[in-house]
Amino acid sequence: MISMDFEGSARAASIASLKPFEERVAEFYDSLLVPILFEPYALELAIVAER
């Protein structure tokens, strides 16, 4: 039989409640931060690749 202390069950509950938050963070990163962070490098790479 597996016993779980209060801390373990609280940790499991907090991890489960973070799942929707993590998904929104990933969507935010993909939609807003990726273009901001990588667009300048992509443009420079396209110029170099044309040569």
Contacts of 4 (CB under 8 A, 6+ apart): 12
Q: Please state, in angstroms and rounded to a whole number, the distance separating the CA atoms of residues 19 and 12.
A: 11
Higher-pLDDT residue of 30, 11? 30
Is the dihedral angle over the CA atoms 26, 14, 16, 20 positive or is it negative? negative
> Taking residues 26-30, what's their average pLDDT?
87
| Alpha carbon 35 to its chain's center | 15
Q: Is the pLDDT of residue 4 over 90?
A: no
Q: Please state, in angstroms and rounded to a whole number, the distance separating the CA atoms of residues 11 and 51.
A: 54
Q: Is the pLDDT of residue 44 over 60?
A: yes
